[in-house]
Structure 1
């Protein structure tokens, strides 16, 4: 099973619908503005700005609740997504019902996840104080500033390498409504210089997010250290699901989970793509499954050339 992200089919509980500036073809009418998550995506032969203008002209923006931004570049993406964010935030007043935004719904055939150039995410939060969900693909150039946002419920950042700055900034943000947080930390090979101390600081700060129910800190080559930090973090007591999958989790991290705070209150613990021994995997099953925890322990594939090597599921 591939862990590389694919095009969204659903977003914010709505089917994703690709906007066609020339009409939807076959004589079919466009869907109602609030019935789908509208995806805007271009190719190397067409600029994004004209597509955006046609969308504003043809769809009732005041009724749109979810937007998905796909590919936006024509050549080498020198400026990242910030020019697109300029266009979006300049028209924020035209989208009073917008509740969800996904940035960079692209697959590897368009560009690898480590090549996606992101931008200043905090400006989106400031532009839409009623926003409830943000998804981001790509970590290079991602900038987050400490902000307070009273409505945000879901934040998901997928990357092959998460810079430390966004993680540190998230620790300084205030999200009283946050229920779902998912971060793919990645590897230094692709810009992920987040360290264990950054994760510990974030987990401490999340203790103030009393509504948080799902936490994913995953796809990391410091997954053992992440697990050790999670094992001691007070925020875990309020969770219903925990995701530490897709990284280099081994016996050290699993041992920390077993010796730390109880996890038997969780409904689900996702540890798929791991490097555990059979002994530690069995201990986890014996400790958690009798309490009804849905435990996923699918191991990572081992390299035939170096069976002891560990790799994150998604890097480049």
Structure 2
């Protein structure tokens, strides 16, 4: 499985597309298809009210920038320049960078460099999603990411940063003094990303979310490599931790059951992974999980009876056990996969 749907909200704001020529062409084509069965000329389409509202108050929405993935009609640099001209970017607080031209073939570097070069045009930016690309554009493991620390350096007032895609992804530098939320979405997480997080100066970081994924799609992160995080000796402000989309969730939960960091956390998210009854039994028997306020176990491989046992064992904890799944079976063998891999 992978990611099919575009965000409708980011950083607490509705997401609005700044229309590229490709998006506008698609919108007109949809309008004509709707009108055609009625046997009448399509006429002009309805105005894009969300775009109009966002243009009137650029701080009221999260702006998404994306062009057609394959042979777009508009060069990204021209599209970005038009955005700077048509929208008061000095008031934008949230930005979502979607597909650039051929994200499977082309690195995100050129888009990164555009943002860095024009950082002064976004003085109010507080939240940035870099690489919101869905299945119809590229598998998550096919996205050609890049070194992204220059984005953090260019926006010192950033509070939230999300990046999707682990291929070519890198962080470097000292850290970020104001960053409060960091999310790294991958089908396979490189250990180098984890090492940077553990060594960087991130004094304000309260929420860390890592999608671990599988070895076949680039994961080199190990439980041993996560040990400093689980020890609770790094990231002094951390109160919410997500270790999601893992192919070894049961082993991860075993490690967490003995991890000092749990005493500091209010929320733990190990959803979208491979939780089976073995991991559930660890949760049921471990005192450590009872200090949490919230435990997210969505997209698990538990039957209803075991799920109820987990809930009963954690009476003071909000436990999310939605979206039970069934394992795959091939040639008499049973396989458990995380939700997002390739």
TM-score relative to the length of structure 1: 0.89
Question: In the aligned structure 1, how far is the partner of 2:4 from the partner of 2:227?
Answer: 27
> Once the 2 structures are TM-superposed, how far is the Cα of residue 123 of structure 1 from its aligned partner?
1.1
Give the unaligned 5+ runs of structure 1: none
Of 115-124 and 210-219, deviating more is 210-219
Deviations 1:190-219 (CA, angstroms, capped at 9, x unpaired):
111211111223333x54434322211011
Contact (CA 8 Å) 1:285, 1:295: kept in 2 or not?
A: no
Distance in 2, matches of 1:15 and 1:298, equals: 25
For each residue in 1:4-34, what CA deviation from the matched residue of structure 2 results, as whole angstroms up to 9, or x when unmatched?
Answer: 3521111111111111267997386433121
> Does 1:77 find its partner at 2:105?
yes
1: CA distance, partners of 2:282 / 2:149: 34
The question of whether the paired residues in 1 share the 8 Å contact of 2:198 and 2:235 is answered with no
In the other structure, the counterpart of 2:334 is 308
Query: Displacement, 1:53?
Result: 0.8
Q: State whether structure 2 residue 222 is matched by structure 1 residue 222.
A: no
Matched, 1:186 2:213: yes
5 Å-filtered alignment, 1:162-241, equals 162-204=189-231, 207-241=233-267
Alignment RMSD: 2.5
- Answer with 293-302 or 171-180: which moved more: 293-302
- Pairing partner for 1:61 from 89, 97, 103: 89
Q: Is the alpha carbon distance of 1:92 and 1:253 closer, same or farther for their aligned partners in structure 2, counting shifts above 3 Å?
A: same
Structure 2 counterpart of 1:154, from 178, 181, 184: 181
Displacement of 1:261:
4.4
Per-residue displacement from partner, 1:43-68 (whole Å, max 9, x unpaired)?
13232111111111222222111111
Equivalent in the alignment of 1:26: 47
**Local SS of the residue matching 1:196:** coil
1:226-259: CA deviations, max 9, x gaps? 2122222222212222111111223443344344
> 2:267 and 2:310 mapped to 1: Cα distance?
16
Tell me, which stretches of 5 or more residues in structure 2 are unaligned?
A: 28-45
Q: Take 1:102 and 1:168, find their aligned partners in 2: how far apart are those partners?
A: 21
Which sits farther off after the overlay, 248-257 or 44-53?
Answer: 248-257
Q: Distance in 2 between matches of 1:123 and 1:286?
A: 47
Change (3 A) 1:94 1:212: same
Give 1:176 shift: 1.5
Specify whether residues 207 and 260 from structure 1 end up closer, same or farther in structure 2 by C-alpha distance, changes over 3 A only: farther
Aligned partners of 2:225 and 2:259: how far apart in 1? 13
How many residues are paired up? Answer: 312
| Stretch moving more, 195-204 or 251-260 | 251-260
Residue in 1 that maps onto 2:14: 15
- The SS at the match of 2:141 is helix
Structure 2 residue aligned with 1:49: 77
Whole-Å separation in 1 of the counterparts to 2:340 and 2:183:
15
1:97-148: CA deviation from partner (whole Å, max 9, x where unpaired): 1101101112101111111111112111111111000111111111012523
Indicate how the Cα distance of structure 1 residues 76 and 171 shifts in structure 2: closer, same or farther if over 3 A, else same.
closer
- 1:115 is matched with 142
What's the CA shift for 1:307?
6.2
Higher alpha-carbon deviation: 98-107 or 140-149: 140-149
Q: CA deviation at 1:298?
A: 4.4
Report which of the two has the higher share of helix.
Answer: 2
Assess, with a 3 A threshold, how the Cα gap between structure 1 residues 114 and 269 changes in structure 2: closer, same or farther: same
Q: Distance in 2 between matches of 1:179 and 1:75?
A: 31
